[in-house]
Amino acid sequence: MININEKGIASTDFHFPGQTAVYKGKVRDVYMISDELMVMVVSDRISAFDVILPRTIPFKGQVLNQLGAHFLDATSSLVPNWVQAIPDPNVTAGLKCRPFKVEMVIRGYLAGHAWRTYEAGGRLLCGVQLPDGLKENDALPQPIITPTTKSDHGHDEDISREDIISRGIVSKENYEQLEKYTRLLYKKGSEMALEKKLILVDTKYEFGEYYGKIYLIDEIHTPDSSRYFYADGYRERQLKGEAQKQLSKEFLRQWLIQHGFQGLEGQQVPPMDDEIVNLVSERYIELYEKITGKKFEKARQDDAVARVERNVLEYLRRSVIL
What pLDDT is stored for residue 320 in this prediction?
Answer: 59
The DSSP code sequence of 79-106 is: S-B-EEEEEETTEEEEE--EE-SEEEEE
CA geometry: angle 2, 6, 7, nearest 5 deg: 140
- Poorest-pLDDT segment among 40-44, 154-158, 218-222: 154-158
What pLDDT is stored for residue 152 in this prediction?
Answer: 58
What pLDDT is stored for residue 155 in this prediction?
Answer: 62
What pLDDT is stored for residue 50 in this prediction?
Answer: 85
What pLDDT is stored for residue 150 in this prediction?
Answer: 80
* Average per-residue pLDDT for the chain: 93
CB 63 within 8 A of CB 288: yes
- Residue 300 banded pLDDT, cuts 50, 70, 90: confident
What pLDDT is stored for residue 247 in this prediction?
Answer: 80
> Domains plus CATH for the chain?
12-99+182-322 (3.30.200.20)
- Residue 250 banded pLDDT, cuts 50, 70, 90: confident
Q: How many residues does the chain have?
A: 322
14-23 pLDDT, tens digit each: 999 999 999 9
- Residue 35 banded pLDDT, cuts 50, 70, 90: confident
Mean pLDDT value across residues 246-260: 87
| Distant-in-sequence, close-in-space partners of 316: CB < 8 Å, separation ≥ 6 | 16, 17, 18, 33, 39, 322
Q: Which of 135-139, 248-252, 290-294 has the highest mean pLDDT?
A: 135-139
What pLDDT is stored for residue 288 in this prediction?
Answer: 92
What pLDDT is stored for residue 151 in this prediction?
Answer: 66
What pLDDT is stored for residue 302 in this prediction?
Answer: 82
CB 101 within 8 A of CB 170: yes
44-82 pLDDT, tens digit each: 999 998 899 999 999 999 999 999 999 999 999 999 999
CA geometry: angle 268, 114, 102, nearest 5 deg: 85
143-178 pLDDT, tens digit each: 999 999 986 555 679 999 999 999 999 999 999 999
**In the predicted model, is pLDDT for residue 202 greater than 70?**
yes
What pLDDT is stored for residue 44 in this prediction?
Answer: 96
Closest among 248, 289, 255 to 272, alpha carbons compared: 255
Say how many CA atoms lie within 13 Å of 72 toward its Cβ: 26
81-112 pLDDT, tens digit each: 999 999 999 999 999 999 999 999 999 999 99
CB 283 within 8 A of CB 46: no
User: Considering the chain, what percentage of its residues have pLDDT values greater than 90?
Assistant: 82
**In the predicted model, is pLDDT for residue 12 greater than 70?**
yes
Phi, psi torsion values for 215, nearest 5 degrees: -125, 145
- What is each CA distance from 81 to 32, 84, 214, 215, 298, in whole angstroms? 17, 9, 8, 5, 26
CB 260 within 8 A of CB 269: no
Record the pTM: 0.87
